[in-house]
């Protein structure tokens, strides 16, 4: 099995059987990054994939090494870092931004033309400990709004002007 084409749902199925993940079944968790294990000298290079999961309720990420052929989790530990937004998360963030009244008023009948990135709110922000996205709203070349989407709360928590984003 080629690990660069592995199905996320298969990996998720393997992960769900692991005791630590099974214990989270009532929590909202999702695979946010999945790829072949980076090869390294002396380590097996095939069959294994690295999956990063985010637990939105607990606000933490985990990283798992999964043997897709043997259908088992080789290693699972808490990730000390934040993985980039998955395509699903970007779509979710953009959909939430598109529904926000402030964004709708700004965009009007024009296209949202969004660009979405992983975002870290300021230390004093209520969503600081949550996984967040910033959606750049670009209905024209010069006009901008920036929707801060809390992916844990599944809502837009701020819509910034350019001054609000840049301080200028």
Partner 1 sequence: MPSLNRANWRVQYGWSASSGLRLGVCEYQGIRVFHSASVPFVYVNYEGDSSGPFTDQLKSKKSKVEIRDIMFGFDLKVTYDFYGEDYQYEHVWRFHDDGQFGSTVVIQGPGEEIDGHHTYHLPFRYDLDISGASGDSFQKRRADGGWEDVVYEGRQLPTHPWAPDFDWRVIDKSTGRSAAIRARAKDNAELWALRYSPLESWGSWGATGSGAPGSPGSVPAIYDNGQTVQDTDIVVWYIAHVPSMERVTACGPWFRLNAYPRPERDSDEQSGGGHGHNH
- Site of interaction with partner 1 (CB under 8 A): 33, 35, 37-41, 43, 50, 52, 63, 65, 75, 77, 79-85, 115, 117-122, 125, 134, 144, 146, 148, 160, 162, 164-168
Q: Which is nearer to partner 1, 25 or 134 (CB)?
A: 134
Q: Which is nearer to partner 1, 29 or 48 (CB)?
A: 48
Reading the block at residue 51, the tokens are 């999956």
CB of 23 to partner 1, least distance (A): 22
Rg (C-alpha) for the chain, rounded Å, is: 19
CB of 26 to partner 1, least distance (A): 26
CB of 37 to partner 1, least distance (A): 7
Largest CA distance in the chain: 57
Helix, strand, or coil (residue 98): helix
Pick from 21, 27, 4, 24: nearest CA to 73: 21
Q: Which is nearer to partner 1, 25 or 119 (CB)?
A: 119
Q: Which is nearer to partner 1, 26 or 37 (CB)?
A: 37
| CB burial of residue 102 (10 Å; 0-12, 13-18, 19+) | middle
């Amino acid at each position: 099995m080629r690990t660069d084409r592995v199905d996320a749902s298969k990996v998720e199925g393997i992960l769900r059987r692991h005791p630590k993940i099974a214990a989270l079944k009532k929590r909202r968790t999702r695979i946010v990054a999945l790829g072949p294990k980076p090869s390294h000298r002396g380590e097996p290079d095939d069959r294994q994939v690295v999956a990063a999961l985010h637990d939105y309720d607990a606000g933490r990420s985990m990283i798992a090494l999964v043997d897709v052929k043997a259908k088992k989790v080789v290693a699972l530990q808490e990730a000390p870092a934040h993985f980039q937004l998955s395509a699903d998360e970007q779509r979710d963030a953009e959909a939430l931004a598109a529904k926000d009244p402030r964004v709708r008023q700004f965009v009007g009948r024009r296209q949202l033309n969004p660009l979405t990135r992983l975002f870290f709110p300021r230390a004093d922000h209520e969503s600081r400990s949550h996984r967040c996205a910033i959606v750049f709203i670009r209905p024209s070349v010069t006009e901008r709004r920036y929707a801060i989407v809390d992916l844990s709360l599944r809502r837009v928590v701020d819509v910034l002007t350019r001054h609000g984003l840049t301080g200028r």
